Amino acid sequence: MVGLLLHWLLSALVLLLVARLVPGFRITGLGAALIAVIIIGLLNATLGLILKIVTFPLTVLTLGLFLLVVNAIVLKVVAVLTPGFSIQGFLPAFLAAILLAILQVVLRWVLGAV
Protein backbone atom coordinates (compact mmCIF):
# COMPACT_ATOMS: atom_id res chain seq x y z
CA MET A 1 0.00 0.00 0.00
CA VAL A 2 2.84 2.39 0.81
CA GLY A 3 4.40 1.64 -2.58
CA LEU A 4 1.16 2.52 -4.35
CA LEU A 5 0.85 5.81 -2.47
CA LEU A 6 4.50 6.63 -3.18
CA HIS A 7 4.03 5.90 -6.89
CA TRP A 8 0.87 8.07 -6.93
CA LEU A 9 2.64 10.99 -5.28
CA LEU A 10 5.73 10.69 -7.50
CA SER A 11 3.56 10.49 -10.62
CA ALA A 12 1.81 13.69 -9.55
CA LEU A 13 5.19 15.37 -9.03
CA VAL A 14 6.29 14.21 -12.48
CA LEU A 15 3.10 15.70 -13.92
CA LEU A 16 3.88 19.00 -12.16
CA LEU A 17 7.41 18.91 -13.60
CA VAL A 18 6.04 18.38 -17.10
CA ALA A 19 3.71 21.34 -16.56
CA ARG A 20 6.78 23.46 -15.81
CA LEU A 21 8.62 22.27 -18.92
CA VAL A 22 5.90 22.21 -21.60
CA PRO A 23 4.31 25.52 -22.59
CA GLY A 24 0.53 25.28 -22.85
CA PHE A 25 0.36 22.44 -20.29
CA ARG A 26 -0.90 23.85 -16.98
CA ILE A 27 -1.70 22.40 -13.56
CA THR A 28 -2.69 24.71 -10.70
CA GLY A 29 -1.18 22.67 -7.89
CA LEU A 30 -0.45 19.35 -6.24
CA GLY A 31 -4.13 18.63 -5.53
CA ALA A 32 -5.06 18.95 -9.20
CA ALA A 33 -2.04 16.83 -10.15
CA LEU A 34 -3.05 14.07 -7.71
CA ILE A 35 -6.59 14.03 -9.13
CA ALA A 36 -5.26 14.11 -12.70
CA VAL A 37 -3.00 11.11 -12.05
CA ILE A 38 -5.97 9.09 -10.80
CA ILE A 39 -8.05 10.05 -13.84
CA ILE A 40 -5.13 9.30 -16.17
CA GLY A 41 -4.89 5.83 -14.65
CA LEU A 42 -8.62 5.20 -15.00
CA LEU A 43 -8.76 6.49 -18.57
CA ASN A 44 -5.68 4.50 -19.59
CA ALA A 45 -7.41 1.39 -18.29
CA THR A 46 -10.63 2.11 -20.25
CA LEU A 47 -10.50 4.64 -23.09
CA GLY A 48 -6.76 4.21 -23.62
CA LEU A 49 -7.15 0.46 -23.91
CA ILE A 50 -9.96 0.82 -26.46
CA LEU A 51 -7.94 3.34 -28.48
CA LYS A 52 -4.87 1.08 -28.40
CA ILE A 53 -6.90 -1.86 -29.69
CA VAL A 54 -8.57 0.17 -32.45
CA THR A 55 -5.30 1.78 -33.57
CA PHE A 56 -3.19 -1.40 -33.28
CA PRO A 57 -2.48 -1.68 -37.03
CA LEU A 58 -1.30 1.95 -37.13
CA THR A 59 0.77 1.37 -34.01
CA VAL A 60 2.48 -1.62 -35.62
CA LEU A 61 3.05 0.35 -38.82
CA THR A 62 4.71 3.20 -36.87
CA LEU A 63 6.69 0.79 -34.65
CA GLY A 64 4.79 1.88 -31.55
CA LEU A 65 5.18 5.63 -31.97
CA PHE A 66 1.44 6.09 -32.52
CA LEU A 67 0.96 5.18 -28.85
CA LEU A 68 2.23 8.67 -28.06
CA VAL A 69 -0.71 10.09 -30.03
CA VAL A 70 -3.08 7.87 -28.04
CA ASN A 71 -1.49 9.07 -24.79
CA ALA A 72 -1.84 12.69 -25.95
CA ILE A 73 -5.54 12.12 -26.63
CA VAL A 74 -5.98 10.63 -23.17
CA LEU A 75 -4.21 13.66 -21.65
CA LYS A 76 -6.55 16.01 -23.52
CA VAL A 77 -9.58 14.15 -22.17
CA VAL A 78 -8.13 14.25 -18.64
CA ALA A 79 -7.64 18.01 -18.99
CA VAL A 80 -11.34 18.39 -19.80
CA LEU A 81 -12.37 16.27 -16.79
CA THR A 82 -9.96 17.69 -14.19
CA PRO A 83 -10.42 21.13 -12.64
CA GLY A 84 -7.14 23.02 -12.45
CA PHE A 85 -5.61 21.11 -15.36
CA SER A 86 -5.57 22.48 -18.91
CA ILE A 87 -3.80 21.79 -22.16
CA GLN A 88 -3.82 24.45 -24.89
CA GLY A 89 -3.79 22.44 -28.13
CA PHE A 90 -2.62 19.07 -29.35
CA LEU A 91 1.11 19.86 -29.62
CA PRO A 92 1.54 20.53 -25.87
CA ALA A 93 -0.38 17.30 -25.17
CA PHE A 94 1.88 15.39 -27.56
CA LEU A 95 5.08 16.88 -26.11
CA ALA A 96 3.81 16.15 -22.60
CA ALA A 97 3.03 12.54 -23.61
CA ILE A 98 6.62 12.11 -24.81
CA LEU A 99 8.09 13.70 -21.70
CA LEU A 100 5.78 11.76 -19.37
CA ALA A 101 6.73 8.49 -21.06
CA ILE A 102 10.44 9.21 -20.61
CA LEU A 103 10.08 10.39 -17.01
CA GLN A 104 7.86 7.42 -16.04
CA VAL A 105 10.50 5.02 -17.39
CA VAL A 106 13.17 6.82 -15.35
CA LEU A 107 10.89 6.81 -12.29
CA ARG A 108 10.26 3.07 -12.58
CA TRP A 109 13.97 2.43 -13.04
CA VAL A 110 14.85 4.49 -9.95
CA LEU A 111 12.11 2.91 -7.81
CA GLY A 112 13.14 -0.54 -9.02
CA ALA A 113 16.73 0.20 -7.99
CA VAL A 114 15.73 1.44 -4.52
| Whether this model's pTM surpasses 0.85 | yes
**Which residues make Cβ contacts (< 8 Å) with residue 36, sequence separation at least 6?**
12, 15, 27, 78, 79, 82, 85
pLDDT at site 16: 95
pLDDT at site 87: 96
CB 93 within 8 A of CB 76: yes
Query: Quick one: 1 exposed, middle or buried, by C-beta within 10 A (0-12, 13-18, 19+)?
Result: exposed
pLDDT of 89 strictly over 80:
yes
DSSP state, residue 22? S
Rounded to the nearest integer, the mean pLDDT of the chain is 92
pLDDT of 114 strictly over 70:
no
